[in-house]
């Protein structure tokens, strides 16, 4: 629903200096509903005199003053979420303070983190025997935290390496357990995913690790391998396709994701871990990497990234308002198909190196047949207010990251530009 021209929030969005407009009258303050047992959740965030802006439908056109940002992460956020955050920045729902100024142990912030967790559980249908942790340190920290928490130093574990991130995860694990790369796409420049039948898994592996979507190479698992040992766990780095489609969480022992692509700003890392895997960390595990500490303290052992968690919560609300992840996936498919069709229909002027069946819905790498024109492409696109299209420095070419928050209009504009650029240079 679009904001009405007369609501306090729309007024503030248009007149950001008129903060007094949102000043609460204490008589209107409503209590912040805190759940004493944050692991079983049914939460609403507190609202006071300031109306919480209802989420506009995703077809809301992009404001003229914003670019289409195709960055791989940190990445574009839903405009409606940014506007809600803007309207609540100075005085969060009548609390008299910004979320940035709140005690992480106060009732206001507790209501925020509990609602964020509750909404994420709804979105991904997370079973009750899984913990949701809001952590720091990025997905990179999880490359170490996972073996430290799940393995003994001599445990074998398997890694399928379909891109640079899987490779980094494997290399970090060599310090804390005995990992093997059971398949690597490196010789083929990370353009495909292996057939699961032919994988030679270690029968004693504690877990099988995959990167569900390789952000740099644009390779995405469309289904998931099953560890051959029935006690082994499937573990996935979902940083760049988290909440982009429904996922059967129960197939995984652990899922982790940095927030800064699909669900929020950088600084928040989400770990969804089966509860029975918590509590066996190696003795050398730093306290900040021990899942048990964070689980027991509901992600509040130390000061968490409060504002980032608040922003993730707004994104989760927005995704639910869009109809949940089934609907979100439909939109993502539509955007990705539009772009891949433009590439494949260009008679070789544009090329995507990734095998068709495993092309990412989130990160679309492509090159130009005339590679000398690539810099020009990026420059001209930027003048047209489509930014961050340069490919990762390790692979070159271009990359369009089209996460949940990239509007269809952004992809349509890019495709129109690609056709026009080809007409001039083809
Ligand atoms: C798939 C994937 N895994 C891990 C990382 C590392 O994440 P962070 O920078 O949050 O540590 C990234 C970052 O882009 C990524 O795309």
pLDDT of residue 70: 98
Distance CA 368, CA 237 (A): 30
Reply yes or no on whether 222 is catalytic. no
Which residue among 258, 271, 391 has the greatest number of ligand 1 atoms within 8 angstroms of its CB, and so is best to mutate? 258
pLDDT of residue 3: 36
Phi, psi of 343 (to 5 degrees): -65, -50
Evaluate the omega torsion of the peptide bond into residue 74 and state whether it is cis, within 30 degrees of 0: yes
Distance CA 351, CA 207 (A): 36
DSSP state of 354: S
pLDDT of residue 393: 87
The structural domains of the chain, ordered by start, are: 112-319 (3.40.640.10), 325-425 (3.90.1150.10)
Distance CA 186, CA 83 (A): 42
Which atom of ligand 1 is closest in space to residue 214's alpha carbon? Answer: 1
Token pair for 239: 């940083």
Q: Give 20 or 216, the one with higher predicted confidence.
A: 216
- 87-102, pLDDT tens digit by residue? 999 999 999 999 999 9
Reply yes or no on whether 183 is catalytic. no
Q: What mean pLDDT do residues 196-223 have? A: 96
pLDDT of residue 426: 84
Helix (H) or strand (E) holding 10: helix 8-14
pLDDT of residue 207: 98
pLDDT of residue 65: 87
pLDDT of residue 44: 58
Q: Are 219 and 360 in contact (CB under 8 A)?
A: yes
| Percentage, residues of the chain above pLDDT 90 | 82
Round the average pLDDT of the chain to a whole number and report it: 89
Could you tell me which of 182, 180, 196, 186 has the C-alpha nearest to residue 165? Answer: 186
Secondary structure string (H, E, C) spanning 211-230: ECEECCCCEECCCCCCCCCC
Q: How far is the CA of 216 from the centre of ligand 1 (A)?
A: 10
Residue 282 CA, distance from chain mean position: 28
Residue nearest to atom 7 of ligand 1 (CA): 139
Q: Give 374 or 34, the one with higher predicted confidence.
A: 374
- pLDDT confidence of 406, banded at 50, 70, 90? very high
Q: How far is the CA of 258 from the centre of ligand 1 (A)?
A: 6
Does 413 have pLDDT greater than 90?
A: yes
pLDDT of residue 64: 77
Which atom of ligand 1 is closest in space to residue 266's alpha carbon? Answer: 10
Q: Give 20 or 238, the one with higher predicted confidence.
A: 238
pTM for the structure as a whole? 0.88
* Residue list, ligand 1 pocket, CB within 6 Å: 73, 138-140, 165, 211, 215, 237, 239-240, 258
Distance CA 126, CA 69 (A): 31
Q: What mean pLDDT do residues 125-145 have? A: 98
Report the DSSP pairing between strands 207-211 and 156-161. Answer: parallel
């Amino acid at each position: 629903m679009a904001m009405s021209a007369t609501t306090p929030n729309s007024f503030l969005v248009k007149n950001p200096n008129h903060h007094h407009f949102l000043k609460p009258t204490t008589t209107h303050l409503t209590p912040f509903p805190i759940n004493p047992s944050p692991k079983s959740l049914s939460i609403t965030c507190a609202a006071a005199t300031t109306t919480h802006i209802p989420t506009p439908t995703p077809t809301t056109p992009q404001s003229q003053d914003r670019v289409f940002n195709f960055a791989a992460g940190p990445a574009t956020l839903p405009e409606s979420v940014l506007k809600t955050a803007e309207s609540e920045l100075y005085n969060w729902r009548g609390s008299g303070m910004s979320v940035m100024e709140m005690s992480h142990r106060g009732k206001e912030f507790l209501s925020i983190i509990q609602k964020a967790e509750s909404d994420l559980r709804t979105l991904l249908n997370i079973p009750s025997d899984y913990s949701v942790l809001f952590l720091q340190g990025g997905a990179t920290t999880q490359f170490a935290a996972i073996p430290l928490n799940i393995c003994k130093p001599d445990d074998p574990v398997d890694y399928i390496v379909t891109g640079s991130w899987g490779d980094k995860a494997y290399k970090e694990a060599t310090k804390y357990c005995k990992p093997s790369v059971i398949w690597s796409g490196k010789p083929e420049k990370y353009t495909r995913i292996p057939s699961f039948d032919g994988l030679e898994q270690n029968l004693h592996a504690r877990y099988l690790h995959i990167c569900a979507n390789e952000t740099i190479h644009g390779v995405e698992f469309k289904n998931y391998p099953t560890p051959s040992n029935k006690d082994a766990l499937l573990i996935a780095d979902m940083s760049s396709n988290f909440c982009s489609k429904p996922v059967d969480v129960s197939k995984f022992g652990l899922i982790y994701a940095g927030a800064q692509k699909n669900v929020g700003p950088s600084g928040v890392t989400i770990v969804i871990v089966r509860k029975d895997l918590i509590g066996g960390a190696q003795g050398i595990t730093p306290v900040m990497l021990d899942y048990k500490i964070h689980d027991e303290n509901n992600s509040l052992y130390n000061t968490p990234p409060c504002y980032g968690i608040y922003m993730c919560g707004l994104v989760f609300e927005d995704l639910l308002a869009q109809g949940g992840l089934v609907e979100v996936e439909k939109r993502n498919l539509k955007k990705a198909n539009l772009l891949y069709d433009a590439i494949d229909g260009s008679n070789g002027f544009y090329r995507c190196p990734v095998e068709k069946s495993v092309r990412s819905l989130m990160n679309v790498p492509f090159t130009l047949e005339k590679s000398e024109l690539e810099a020009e492409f990026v420059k001209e696109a930027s003048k047209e207010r489509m930014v961050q299209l340069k490919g990762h420095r390790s692979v070159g070419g271009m990359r369009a990251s089209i996460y949940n928050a990239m509007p269809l209009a952004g992809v349509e504009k890019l495709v129109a530009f690609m056709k026009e650029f080809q007409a001039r240079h083809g």
